Structure 1
Amino acid sequence: MHFDKTPKEKPCCTLPTVKKLLEEKRRRETSSVPPSCPTAITSPVPLTTVTLTPSEPFACTGASSSYSEMAVSYEPWNPAPETPLSYYTSSHPGPRVAAAYNLPVTSEYGTQQQLPGFIASTSQTFDCQMTATDPSLASSWSLLCPGQTTAVAFGSSLDATRLEEARMLLRGMDYSRTTGQDEDGDTILHIYTAKGLRECAFAAAERLREVGGLDAKEHKGKTALLVAVTANQPEIVQDLLSLGADINASDVNGQTALHLAVHYGFPRVLQATLSSRPDVNLEARNFDGMTPLHCAVISHSVTMKALSTTGMADVNLQSKAAEKLSCVQKLLKEGAFVCSQEIKSNKTALHLAVKEGNIDLVRYLLRIPLQNMKDFVNMKAHGHTALHMAAGLHGNPHQEEILRLLLSKGADPSIRNLENDQPAHLLQSGFQGEQLKMILKKRGATSRRRNVSLQDQE
């Protein structure tokens, strides 16, 4: 929110924004994971919440007109019956959503229970000749239209009574307030979405859809759908998609719903997004040239690195690592191109995993049943194969295992990079380096004998 004030004047209060609302939630459910996919760099801002009783009318001298008034005394919605929607009157209509959603990558939400509802099956053929089937990936859901009494989305139902009350609430508001944007580009839909108020968000989305504003962007380029993804609200994500929200909309960093879901490690949000196929673009590039798969691999690697520094004793990090690995798996099972190279350095998911010494991801990627696995393993990123990168993992406890895994899948130790170096030339000095060099030379000699034998047979 912006205040018009003289140099000596200070605003009488500080109102919560969407960014602050989300940060408040993350502080309650946060884990100590360092920054991951380099797409969002905003630092956290301390939250200041103003709560006034009905006997304390809100007044803020000098404040510009926006949705600020709607933030006062609006607590997070508890869906229990004892909190009726009728509480939210014209004087308590909703939360304030202003400023940015470009959230710091240090933010992590706590693990949430997976809702039931994944009942359909999906079969997908991969671009790299890989076929996989996962019966848990698809879900059935229906759209609640005006006049209907119930709707099922992502395994849970909208409350028909609260939805009707939310519609009545919006009808009682000024039309420009329910359909317009404030000085930061926020709509009332952004507000309700950030707070996780599902029925209110659905009603607001219906109203904005009527005027073509369902995909309105705030000043950081985020639509309400992207806010729902960032806030880890899978039900609202699927509600918005059912109403026609653009699944491939991107923010000012080029991040789509898929990029954000895997970046933060939200498998339920990812599943809700993937359910809109075939419209979803699995190969969308953000402005760093990365697909969602690249971001998922980087994010998982950062969490694994943080976990290794805690001695594998942090339960929250273990849970987050499992969720992020699940995101990688879901993308691949839905058809993400495992051979895709990010634009800046031509790295594949395998390059990215090997470079960070991420043994779990390396194992998983090398178990994918590719017909052209040897070509995949020997792909170059600015001249370097994955084997070159493994050779440069000096001091990494998984270096030898990664080297052996790559060699077992056809990695060629004789390939030279742009500096004319083979992987053996990049190994560390000392006893361990000599041991690893022997492994590479032995495999190289075996490969040469095999090639000679094949030539003789021809």
Structure 2
Amino acid sequence: MTDLSSSWSIQAEVVPSQSSILSFGTPLDPNKLQEARMFIRGMDYSRTTEQDEDGDTMLHIYAAKGLRECAYAAAEELKPLGRLDAQEHKGKTALLVAVAANHPEIVHDLLSLGADINACDINGQTALHLAAHYGYSVVLQVRWHQTGMTPLHCAALSHCTVMKEIYTGRSDATKATDKLACVEMLLNAGASLLSQEIKSNKTVLHLAVKEGNIQLVRFLLRNPQANMKAHGHTALHMAAGLHGNSHQKEIMQLLLSHGADPSIRNLENVQAAHLLQRGPEGEQLKVMLKRRNTSSRRRVQDPQ
């Protein structure tokens, strides 16, 4: 298979290519897509499915070149085989190659076909890391457009995923550090902690609390912009629902120390205390909330 990369590069020119990178949101050209499908299905099966000496599939090649319809047709062939996220010699999937090459339309297509947004290369970099690193704002917007989440939300969820893997022994702290660096990078670039995910109005703080991610909660609360409120539940409501999580008490203490109000009721007219687990642990947390609530009322009644 030593000549597959060069042969795919030559074959790619046979299919009519785009004169320029398509703007975000442009639909696939149906004629070019049909031609690409016919071309790929006429190739030798091994060439359409296997990897060359560098680990590249034909999807990697087309993604790098920005040949959108060819990439889509290739992805259709590889997806049923479980090869959509095949990694080349540097650990990059075709999605990561498309991000690094700044081809947002191909990024959009691959995500719509089920490519893994959390896939990492050998340096632990995800699509979000690469897009943020290179400043490819349109690539970042693709993910936002698909899910209603800002890039900051995506980076936070990626960190939460790694933290879960660390707790189960399937990852190490280095990856968590890299993911947290991506969150910090986005914040430094102007991402707002006040922004809310479109579907549920959650902020990144809400996501971190809901996942029981104590490291991310600590990091976010260092910023005075951290938003405690969202449509319905506050972050404290979510912390109260972390039954059985070893960080529940610490997360609640952190939120309270940063101004969380236990008297606030959600849309069901329920306070955070009502969402606590039953038993001694829940009763201890309830006492903590009650003390905070009493202390807050005293400050209001007796202003200095």
TM-score (norm 2): 0.68
Aligned to 2:101: 240
Alignment of 1:2-81 (within 5 A): 74=1
The alpha carbon displacement at 1:278 in A equals: 5.1
**Alignment length, in residue pairs?**
267
Tell me the distance in 2 between the aligned counterparts of 1:416 and 1:174. Answer: 59
Pick aligned residue for 1:176 from 14, 26, 34: 14
Aligned to 1:305: 164
Alignment of 1:178-217 (within 5 A): 181-183=36-38, 195-196=55-56, 201=61, 205=65, 213=67, 217=71
| 1:392 and 2:241 matched | yes
Tell me the distance in 2 between the aligned counterparts of 1:423 and 1:332. Answer: 29
Aligned to 2:108: 250
Tell me the distance in 2 between the aligned counterparts of 1:239 and 1:288. Answer: 21
Tell me the distance in 2 between the aligned counterparts of 1:299 and 1:264. Answer: 10
**Which residues of structure 2 form unaligned runs of 5+?**
18-34, 78-83
Pick aligned residue for 2:185 from 330, 352, 358: 330
Partner amino acid, structure 2, of 1:297? A
**Which residues of structure 1 form unaligned runs of 5+?**
1-73, 75-86, 95-165
The alpha carbon displacement at 1:353 in A equals: 1.3
The 1:288–1:229 alpha-carbon spacing in structure 2 relative to 1, beyond 3 Å, is farther
Tell me the distance in 1 between the aligned counterparts of 2:181 and 2:48. Answer: 30
| 1:363 and 2:224 matched | no
Aligned to 2:195: 340
Structure with the greater relative contact order (CA < 8 A, sep ≥ 6): 1 or 2?
A: 1
RMSD: 4.4
| 1:349 and 2:180 matched | no
The 1:410–1:423 alpha-carbon spacing in structure 2 relative to 1, beyond 3 Å, is same
Which one has a larger percent helix, Structure 1 or Structure 2?
A: 2
The percent of aligned pairs where both chains have the same amino acid is 41
Partner amino acid, structure 1, of 2:72? E
Tell me the distance in 2 between the aligned counterparts of 1:323 and 1:426. Answer: 34
Aligned to 1:78: none
TM-score (norm 1): 0.47
SS of the residue aligned with 2:153? helix
8 Å CA contact 1:283, 1:292 repeated in 2: no
Aligned to 1:21: none
After TM superposition, where is structure 1 displaced by more than 4 Å over at least 4 residues in a row?
Answer: 168-171, 177-180, 183-194, 200-204, 214-217, 219-222, 226-231, 233-239, 252-257, 277-284
Aligned to 2:230: 380
The alpha carbon displacement at 1:327 in A equals: 3.0
8 Å CA contact 1:229, 1:269 repeated in 2: no
Aligned to 1:408: 257
The 1:306–1:178 alpha-carbon spacing in structure 2 relative to 1, beyond 3 Å, is same
